[in-house]
Amino acid sequence: MSRIARFALEHSRAVIAIFLAITVALAISATRIETDNATQSLYPDDSKVDALAKELQATFQHHDRLLLVASGDIYTGPTMTRVTALTAALQRLPGVENVTSVATAKRMIDDDGFLIVDDLLPRRAPGTDPSPEELAAVRDYLATSPMYRNVTLVSADGKHASFIIEMAEDLDANAFAKSVVKTVKAEWEGEFSLAGQAFTSMELQAIIGRDLPVLGGLALAAILFMLFLNFRTLQGTLLPLAQILLGVVWGMGLFQLLGGKLMALTVIGPIAVMAVASSFIINMLGRYYFELAHGAEKRVAIDRMLGETGLGVIVSGVAISAAMSTFMLSSLQMVRGLGLVALLGVLASLLASMVLLPALLNVLPPPKRVDDPENPGGLLKLLRRLGRLTTRRPRAVLVTALVIVLAGVLGLPRIVTDTSILAFFPEGGATRTSVATVEEVLGGSSTITVWLKGDLTDPALLTAMEAYQADVSSLAGMGPGQSIANVVRALHLTLTGEEGLPTSREAVAQELLLYQSSGDVSDLTRFMTLDYQQGVISFVARSMSTERVAEVTSEMTRLAGEHFGKLATVQLTGNPLLEREIEQAMRHDFVISLTLAIALVLFIDSFVRSFRAAAVTIIVLLSTVALQYGLLGWLGLPLNLATMLMGALAIGVGDYAIHLTVRYMEERRHGKDPEAAVVHTLHSTGRQILFTALTLGAGFGALAFANFVPVATLGRLMLLTVGLVGVATLTLLPAASLKFLRDPHTRLHLPKELMHEEA
């Protein structure tokens, strides 16, 4: 790196030109980046639930569904005509496989031993509305037929009509949902609500489109404000701006060239790059101004900046990059994308700090007036108090910190995990309101499917299916279930006038054969295979936490064992189970990323020439991580997609604490005793550490304004975390250095008096 730095100083204008050309090229690349708003991108790569769902879709010709609920006085002639028109308009949309509504519902009639399957809503000449008598008959049939007992085509109060829109495979879900919204607005005068994966994809697209520029702008403005407060010069504000923008542009441009796409969590990446890049520049530019303020010539100041502060910045930058790289081991595509953007951007910012910044400083004239950035100014009184506290009572500081951390750790068992997709959206927002309306009408907004393998002509199995449907529907969060048992019961009632199920396999097979010859075979094949050996029970499910999904899944499996026994084998799949898989994948990623981040940062920080110095620094960071997750439990905040990343992020961006350790070791190397070294280190670096913490907090704090709830939660917690790291760096780290790092350049040896007396 020293050779590269010398090259940058000897060929400054060429270096600046090269960086400018690369930045322009990558900026063009960044403008071409695409978004991936599909909910499938949220699921693990090796999802067993998704694999089973695809196998089930192929077997039963199932499709992803978009649920629509339209509000109005449905059982009136004009409104029912609009329901019919809307159904027809939806059926004409590209990518629509089928639309189920009251306008497409069927009625079964026994005609002297013959089964007739006809439209429930009689077809009429254009321009004429259904009569009150026809509408009354429709309402009565929907209320009494076992076929529709567990499905709501029109709500009981007649105020809502539902439309189940089945989508073709491999559609652009966002574009499809938008086409549905446009069609509904053109055909329907009243209010309407949507739910389903395509709707969620559309809402995620809107969030990505809004959050990235808005949050990026907020973060940039906040960071620049903190930089101006720190350096108080135009150069001290604009030079960091160039470095920050370069890191973001390079990160996003390279991300696009590598085939990356923007996803909901990706917004964290550029903001993390902004915050980290600003911390690099604060330390590098701060040392440059320090040397100028003490009379050094420009070239000497640049050399000392690179020689004295460059090591800490390089170590910190590589450590942060290593922490970010752990996200790329995730089984979740969205997390890998975040890790790649952050890694590329941080490395670009580090390179710019060590090469471009010296070149720019070499070309630009030094400011006419330079304030010493290490002069604590109004902070002197505070830093003196901290110096006295940590040097006179280091044990008290350590014990107090231990008590606080232990109190925080007690909150860990209180943490509740929730990676449900609906939890991504704000409470009371338009997305949740829409889904809540659909759930109120239909009993749920997603589906849990039970795949059975057994003899579906066996009355015992059909009876068990009905009992199972009743028991599962009574579980909290679960809605009604529908299966071939509903169809057979409706058939039997129509053909015999008797409530119940056929009593023999032959009777079941005969009635099903009658339906195949009279009705649409697809009405049966959505529930069973034509060899009668496989079937499904489809339950609607309300939005619930992934913790509740685990409980429901366990209960459904237990009930299946009780009801089916040897009659059938059972497998479960559905979107709620996929959300549960996200949680399990995130737990695995959390352990891997945090463990690797700790190990890598510890290893890399050891390059400050002392493993013990790195260990002391990392222990301070681990204390803040333990405290932040403890607070998560005490505050009742969910552990979700973003907050599971918080530990590794904190280890990475919090590694600016290594700068205090480096300065302390420098003071000890210059002959100061430990206490004097701590006091001088706090006086000289305390202001920079404080502003680094404030700048990082300003950057991550912008995430708190995100519409994507996990990102907003992460922003608030990272703001707290950066503050905790700052406090720990100025109190706990100096005290720990006095106890465990009195002589950082020799092996660990604590004199006996240090074990019993205050230093």
**394-443: pLDDT as tens digits:** 999 999 999 999 998 899 888 888 878 888 888 888 999 999 999 999 99
CA distance 402 to 399: 5
CA distance 446 to 164: 12
pLDDT at 416: 83
Amino acid occupying residue 716: R
Confidence check: pLDDT of 683 > 90: no
Higher pLDDT, 697 or 469: 469
Confidence check: pLDDT of 315 > 70: yes
Q: Choose among 335, 351, 357, 223: nearest CA to 288.
A: 357
Q: Which residues make Cβ contacts (< 8 Å) with residue 560, sequence separation at least 6?
A: 450, 468, 570
Residues 66 and 201 sit within 8 Å (Cβ to Cβ): no
Rg (CA), the chain: 33
pLDDT at 375: 65
Residue 9 lies in a domain: yes
pLDDT tens-place string over residues 607-630:
655 677 778 878 888 888 888 889
pLDDT at 756: 34
Supply the pTM of this predicted model.
0.80
Residues 4 and 353 sit within 8 Å (Cβ to Cβ): no
Neighbours of 506 (CB within 10 A): 10
pLDDT tens-place string over residues 111-158:
777 888 888 998 887 878 999 999 999 999 999 888 888 889 999 999
Chain position carrying tokens 């493993």: 611
Q: Which residues make Cβ contacts (< 8 Å) with residue 336, sequence separation at least 6?
A: 327, 328, 330
Residues 480 and 469 sit within 8 Å (Cβ to Cβ): yes
Confidence check: pLDDT of 746 > 70: no
Residue 329 lies in a domain: yes
Confidence check: pLDDT of 750 > 60: no
Q: What is the DSSP string of 399-456?
A: HHHHHHHHHHHTTGGG--B---GGGGS-TTSHHHHHHHHHHHHHS-SEEEEEEEEE-T
Q: For the chain, give the mean pLDDT.
A: 86
Over range 294-298, report the average pLDDT: 88
Residue 323 lies in a domain: yes
Residue 397 lies in a domain: no
3-state helix, strand, coil split of the chain in percent (to 5) is: 70, 10, 25
Residue 242 lies in a domain: yes
pLDDT at 759: 33
CATH code of residue 7? 1.20.1640.10
pLDDT at 740: 86
Residue 304 lies in a domain: yes
The first and second tokens of residue 401, run together, are 């910190």
Q: Which residues make Cβ contacts (< 8 Å) with residue 724, sequence separation at least 6?
A: 624, 627, 628
Residue 413 lies in a domain: no
pLDDT at 485: 94
Residue 333 lies in a domain: yes
Share of the chain above pLDDT 70, in %: 95
pLDDT at 748: 41
Q: Give backbone dihedrals phi and psi of 540, rounded to 5 degrees, phi first.
A: -85, 145
CA distance 387 to 369: 30
Helix (H, G, I), strand (E, B) or coil at 295: coil
CA distance 320 to 347: 9
Helix (H, G, I), strand (E, B) or coil at 242: helix
The first and second tokens of residue 216, run together, are 């990026």
pLDDT at 323: 82
pLDDT at 602: 76
Name the H helices within 232-331.
234-257, 268-293, 298-304, 310-325
Q: Which residues make Cβ contacts (< 8 Å) with residue 375, sequence separation at least 6?
A: 293, 687
Helix (H, G, I), strand (E, B) or coil at 192: strand
Question: In degrees to the nearest 10, what's the CA dihedral of 51, 52, 53, 58?
Answer: 90
DSSP 119: E
For residue 695, how many C-alpha atoms fall within 13 Å in the half-sphere facing its CB?
A: 33
Higher pLDDT, 478 or 643: 478
Q: What order of strands is seen across the sheet that includes strand 478-482?
A: 478-482, 534-541, 446-454, 568-574
Q: What is the DSSP string of 267-287?
A: GHHHHHHHHHHHHHHHHHHHH
CA distance 115 to 148: 18
Share of the chain above pLDDT 90, in %: 38
Residues 616 and 398 sit within 8 Å (Cβ to Cβ): no
pLDDT at 646: 80
pLDDT at 333: 85
pLDDT tens-place string over residues 52-96:
988 998 898 888 899 999 999 999 999 999 999 999 999 999 999
CA distance 480 to 541: 8
Residue 243: domain span? 1-32+232-372
pLDDT tens-place string over residues 534-545:
999 999 999 988
What is the number of structural domains in the chain?
Answer: 1
pLDDT at 601: 74
Q: Which residues of 373-405 are buried (b: 16+ CB within 10 A; e: fewer)?
A: bbebeebeeebeebbebbbeebeebbeebeebb
pLDDT tens-place string over residues 343-356:
999 999 999 999 99
Q: Which residues make Cβ contacts (< 8 Å) with residue 30, sequence separation at least 6?
A: 249, 252, 253, 255, 256
Over range 720-742, report the average pLDDT: 87
CA distance 387 to 218: 35
pLDDT at 757: 35
